Chain A
Amino acid sequence: MNDGVQTDSASVDIAMADIGRLEDVVDREALRDVCRSFFELFSLSVRVFSASGALLADVHEDQPIHAYLRQFARGRQALAQTVAEVTKADVRGRAPQRRVELTGAVYDIVPLDYQGRAVGRIVIGPYLPAEVREVPRQLLKLDPNIDPERVRDLLAQMPRVRKSTAERIVAHLTGILKLLLFSSHRAHLTSEMHLASVRENYRELAEKNAKLQAAYDRLKELDRLKSNFLATVSHELRTPLTSIIGYSEMLESGIAGELNAEQLEFVQTIHAKGDQLLALITSLLDLSKLEQGVMSIRSETIDPRALVDDIARTFAPAARKKGIELRTRVDEELPPIEGDPIRLKQVLSNLAENALKFTPAGGQVFFEAHAADFEEESDTEMGAVFFSSPRPAVAFVVRDTGIGMPAAELDKIFDAFYQVDGSSTREHGGTGLGLSIVKRLVDAHGGRIEVSSEIGKGTTFRVLIPSPE
Chain B
Amino acid sequence: MQIDFKSRELTVKLVYYGPALSGKTTNLQAIHRLVSNETAGRLMTLETRDDRTLFFDLLPLTFNSGGGIQVRFKLFTVPGQVIHNATRRLVLQGADGTAFIADSQTSETRANREAFLNMQQNLRDNGIEPETHPVVIQFNKRDLPNIRSDAELDRMATRSKEPIYKAVALRGEGVIDTFLGLTDLTWRRLEAKHSLQEKFGLDPDEFLRDVRRRLGLGDGGTP
List A residues at the B interface (Cβ < 8 Å).
Answer: 2-9, 11-12, 14-18, 92-93, 114-118, 178, 182, 185-186, 189-190, 193, 196-197, 200-201, 203-204, 380-389, 469
Contact in complex: B46, A115 (CB < 8 Å): no
- Residues of B within 8 Å of A389, CB to CB, are 109, 148, 152, 156
List B residues at the A interface (Cβ < 8 Å).
Answer: 1-7, 9, 11, 13, 41-42, 44, 46-47, 55-56, 58, 60-62, 64, 68, 70, 72, 74, 76, 84-87, 89-90, 93-94, 96, 100, 102, 109-110, 112-113, 116-117, 120, 126-127, 130-131, 135, 137, 148, 152-153, 156-157, 159-162, 164
Distance to closest chain B CB from A91 (angstroms): 13
Contact in complex: B46, A197 (CB < 8 Å): no
Contact in complex: B94, A384 (CB < 8 Å): no
Contact in complex: B4, A5 (CB < 8 Å): yes
Contact in complex: A384, B156 (CB < 8 Å): yes
Contact in complex: A16, B13 (CB < 8 Å): yes
Contact in complex: A380, B70 (CB < 8 Å): no
Specify the chain B residue showing the minimal Cβ separation from A203. B86
Contact in complex: B87, A200 (CB < 8 Å): yes
**A-B residue pairs, 8 tightest by C-beta:** A116-B62, A4-B6, A9-B94, A15-B94, A200-B86, A115-B60, A116-B72, A15-B93
Contact in complex: A14, B120 (CB < 8 Å): no
Known: A16-B13, A117-B70, A383-B162. A2 touches B6 (CB 8 A): yes
In-complex Cβ contact of A386 among B11, B46, B87, B112 (8 A)? B112
28 inter-chain pairs at a CB distance below 8 angstroms, sorted by A residue, are: A4-B4, A4-B6, A5-B5, A6-B2, A6-B3, A6-B4, A9-B94, A9-B127, A11-B93, A14-B93, A15-B93, A16-B74, A16-B94, A115-B60, A115-B62, A116-B41, A116-B61, A189-B44, A190-B47, A197-B90, A204-B85, A380-B120, A382-B161, A383-B117, A385-B162, A387-B113, A387-B116, A469-B110
Interface SS of chain B: helix, strand, loop or mixed? mixed
Distance to closest chain A CB from B167 (angstroms): 14
- Residues of B within 8 Å of A382, CB to CB, are 116, 120, 130-131, 135, 161-162
Distance to closest chain B CB from A73 (angstroms): 40
Distance to closest chain A CB from B151 (angstroms): 13
The CA-CA distance from A2 to B2 in the complex, in Å, is 12
Contact in complex: B87, A197 (CB < 8 Å): yes
- Residues of B within 8 Å of A9, CB to CB, are 93-94, 126-127
- Residues of A within 8 Å of B112, CB to CB, are 386
Contact in complex: A204, B86 (CB < 8 Å): yes
Distance to closest chain B CB from A381 (angstroms): 5
- Residues of A within 8 Å of B7, CB to CB, are 4, 92, 117-118
Known: A7-B2, A382-B161, A385-B137. A200 touches B46 (CB 8 A): no
Specify the chain A residue showing the minimal Cβ separation from B61. A116
- Residues of A within 8 Å of B85, CB to CB, are 204
Contact in complex: B159, A193 (CB < 8 Å): no
Given contacts A16-B11, A197-B86, A385-B162, 16 further A-B contacts (CB under 8 A): A4-B6, A6-B2, A6-B4, A12-B2, A15-B93, A93-B64, A115-B72, A200-B86, A200-B89, A383-B100, A383-B137, A383-B162, A384-B161, A385-B157, A387-B113, A389-B156
- Residues of A within 8 Å of B137, CB to CB, are 383, 385
The CA-CA distance from A385 to B64 in the complex, in Å, is 36
Known: A116-B72, A190-B46. A196 touches B90 (CB 8 A): yes
